[in-house]
Structure 1
């Protein structure tokens, strides 16, 4: 292929790929980073709460303006609370910066930034969390996770296990996407040189076309004048030379265009019947259920604090003595039960509902995990999507019914806490009306999506019985 024709095709391919990255792929990458940050934040909070690491008192005051990779140098196990604590804190803070302030566009993902981000996700080996790992950062993380789970309630252990699993999964996805992005950025750099230098009026095209040496001389002669202080990557310049003058230049040109092809571009599909895709309508209801996850996470955190206050005894000498004896004798804590007045939304009748606190919180955490997976279109979403419409509708019906019951219970608990928690601790009670309002709106939205699907299916069935085709 002639150089000019190749350059023309190259610029078209780069433009399409860049548009695809900015509109689709980088948004998916941001979603993966957000999931990773949520899981890391959960772990960080657990470590601090159990005093396994010493939080940096100045962490919120740090001004971050670029990607910085935490240290990976070895340190003694005795320094885990301080050294590992500081590094894990920096890791979480940097993830927050990436998710909140870093602009997810190809212009911002320079080769230097891609390299830093690849180094960043390798700071901890999430898929090899062994207490014998040769890398001290990972070994310290594994040891801290083990200590955090030791003696913790099942709901906390479940949260930690789930967070670790999702970190391993997301880091793997992020790493793959960053490596592919790095390949694209290399081609984008080369394409930029071809466009900015080769089309410059001072560029001697005849000399560049004569030989590899001539083209290299022209590139180096004009590079600083055209690009200023932009880094010169000699290896990429050499690739340009090989693509234009190498013995297998046509093969190399074809390989470049192949690398720039959008692999998951929409394939031609058979003509569909008129009208909306009913399964897609139903999956919108599933996604509406998945959108409940962030609200449940917030409610769960407040419920845990409020239940702890509810069952916290007054700080008397006698209560301290009883607690110390139970700990010394390794006596199992009494099961936490509370009897909550719950009002029926339809009839207004009130009844007392017995709630096993640990079971209730465990069930809530289980729903968080499922809904979060749906919202991120992870394994949970894929499994549901692979089912038939009847099974999906059954799932949606079940979730809406259960989440409505959960709403009623938490709403009743909100009043219960305010009345029953000891006056000594009442100022620390967490109100939940804002989150409950958000939960109510999410339920309404999910119900609306389900209703749209059911109405359309019923209408289609009536038309079918009347012998009216959707294509008519």
Structure 2
């Protein structure tokens, strides 16, 4: 294959494949990670409730800025509650980081990050969950899952089985995508060297064309100057040399272009011609709402605990006497009503809002269930997907508005607890700023996706009014 023609075809293929990854494949991978996170979080909560693992009290305070693979070294079965508990907690926290903060673009999926994510995917072998598994992490998970199902109601057992099955499927899908992405990143690295080094004015093309040794010498001479501290991969540089000077270089060049071919090219071309699928754009917004479920669950737990601390009564004679009376006559506890100061974010004006604690927590629990179902692409997701776009948009608008309102209230409650709880009990109040920050980011993400959808729809409608087709 003529050298210049190969280089042009290579850069075009890399660009098209990169666009496909960013617009389609990586978005599907994010959906799989969200599904895995939802399932793992549900299992983690169940393990904690049954006291099968010891929760890490500092897990929400850990600052994560990069992908870290939990430990996989062996440990004794007697240490499962502590060691497995910490590792499973780290695994769930890392999934939360991946779903919330990691950017799903080819720039983020460097060769190092792809390797880390593949290693992360192997921390637990979901498709071989056996109490005889040779790997202790997986064996501990199998033992804990079995303990969680033991004596549990059928609905809980069903939830656990479903979570394990979906985790296995999501993990398998993610691994396949990451493996293919790793192959692409290798070709992207090689293509980048060809573009940045071979087109550099100081690169001696004549010397590089003479021999393999000459090309390798020129690459090494300019590498640091052009790429800075970028890793030098000997094996990939050798592949470039083989593609340019090897005895079967034409076959190898053709093989590279074959690797970069988009398998569903016809489908992708049709999408390019007609523009993005607006309903799919809207359903991505719905999935972004579903991603808030784990954060809402964490907030719900802390709110419940903080309200219990807030309404704790001093153990004096009168309070003990009233408690006995209520028990003797089967009287209900007084309804918890909170006079909550709430500041308007736009005007800065503070007003007092009457908050029925039971109703608020009940509504929060309802949202958790709906969003969990959405994240897992269960019945809730299927119902939403089956209706018209205007109804989906109405649902999205309502949910974003309600989430924003809940954020304001919970943020106000965070300050309220710290102020109103009795001094001797303040150490028991759980801060919620980490979860509130995660919720804020999730709302911003959903809002952006909604805005992108609305902007595109408005632009399309305006073009139609002017007689301009999107297919042009």
Q: Which runs of 4+ in 1 moved over 6 A?
A: 283-299, 364-370, 378-385
1:45: which partner in 2? 45
1:253: which partner in 2? 253
Using the TM superposition, give the Cα deviation of residue 157 of structure 1 relative to its aligned residue in structure 2, in angstroms: 1.4
- 8 Å CA contact 1:155–1:365 kept in 2: the answer is no
Instruction: Specify whether residues 287 and 262 from structure 1 end up closer, same or farther in structure 2 by C-alpha distance, changes over 3 A only.
Output: closer
2:92: which partner in 1? 92
Instruction: Specify whether residues 292 and 86 from structure 1 end up closer, same or farther in structure 2 by C-alpha distance, changes over 3 A only.
Output: closer
Using the TM superposition, give the Cα deviation of residue 114 of structure 1 relative to its aligned residue in structure 2, in angstroms: 0.4
Q: Aligned pair count?
A: 372
Using the TM superposition, give the Cα deviation of residue 30 of structure 1 relative to its aligned residue in structure 2, in angstroms: 1.2
Aligned residue for 2:157, secondary structure, equals helix
- 8 Å CA contact 1:373–1:380 kept in 2: the answer is no
1:354-433 superposed matches below 5 A: 373-374=376-377
- 8 Å CA contact 1:370–1:380 kept in 2: the answer is yes
Instruction: Specify whether residues 296 and 158 from structure 1 end up closer, same or farther in structure 2 by C-alpha distance, changes over 3 A only.
Output: farther
1:186 and 2:186 equivalent? yes
In the superposition, the TM-score normalised over structure 1's length comes to 0.62
Aligned residue for 1:133, secondary structure, equals coil
2:24: which partner in 1? 24
Rounded Cα–Cα distance in structure 1 between residues aligned with 2:171 and 2:110: 20
- 8 Å CA contact 2:126–2:168 kept in 1: the answer is yes
Using the TM superposition, give the Cα deviation of residue 74 of structure 1 relative to its aligned residue in structure 2, in angstroms: 0.5
Using the TM superposition, give the Cα deviation of residue 155 of structure 1 relative to its aligned residue in structure 2, in angstroms: 2.1
- 8 Å CA contact 1:53–1:85 kept in 2: the answer is yes
1:12-411 superposed matches below 5 A: 12-265=12-265, 266=267, 373-374=376-377
Rounded Cα–Cα distance in structure 1 between residues aligned with 2:26 and 2:191: 20
Rounded Cα–Cα distance in structure 2 between residues aligned with 1:22 and 1:372: 21
2:336: which partner in 1? none
Gaps of at least 5 residues in structure 1 are 270-276, 310-315, 317-363, 401-472
Instruction: Specify whether residues 295 and 108 from structure 1 end up closer, same or farther in structure 2 by C-alpha distance, changes over 3 A only.
Output: closer
- 8 Å CA contact 2:38–2:372 kept in 1: the answer is no
Instruction: Specify whether residues 380 and 183 from structure 1 end up closer, same or farther in structure 2 by C-alpha distance, changes over 3 A only.
Output: farther
Rounded Cα–Cα distance in structure 2 between residues aligned with 1:45 and 1:225: 51
Rounded Cα–Cα distance in structure 2 between residues aligned with 1:105 and 1:75: 37
Rounded Cα–Cα distance in structure 2 between residues aligned with 1:230 and 1:286: 38
Aligned residue for 1:75, secondary structure, equals coil
Aligned residue for 1:262, secondary structure, equals coil
- 8 Å CA contact 2:53–2:85 kept in 1: the answer is yes
- 8 Å CA contact 1:290–1:373 kept in 2: the answer is no
Using the TM superposition, give the Cα deviation of residue 133 of structure 1 relative to its aligned residue in structure 2, in angstroms: 0.3
1:7: which partner in 2? 7
Using the TM superposition, give the Cα deviation of residue 287 of structure 1 relative to its aligned residue in structure 2, in angstroms: 9.8
What CA deviation, in whole Å up to 9, does each residue of 1:60-111 have, x standing for no partner?
1111111111111100000001111111111111111111111111111110
- 8 Å CA contact 1:55–1:89 kept in 2: the answer is yes
2:456: which partner in 1? none
- 8 Å CA contact 1:296–1:368 kept in 2: the answer is yes
Aligned residue for 2:132, secondary structure, equals coil
RMSD in angstroms over aligned alpha carbons?
5.5
Rounded Cα–Cα distance in structure 2 between residues aligned with 1:9 and 1:382: 41
Bigger-Rg structure (1/2): 1
Rounded Cα–Cα distance in structure 1 between residues aligned with 2:167 and 2:37: 9
Instruction: Specify whether residues 186 and 302 from structure 1 end up closer, same or farther in structure 2 by C-alpha distance, changes over 3 A only.
Output: closer
Instruction: Specify whether residues 202 and 284 from structure 1 end up closer, same or farther in structure 2 by C-alpha distance, changes over 3 A only.
Output: closer
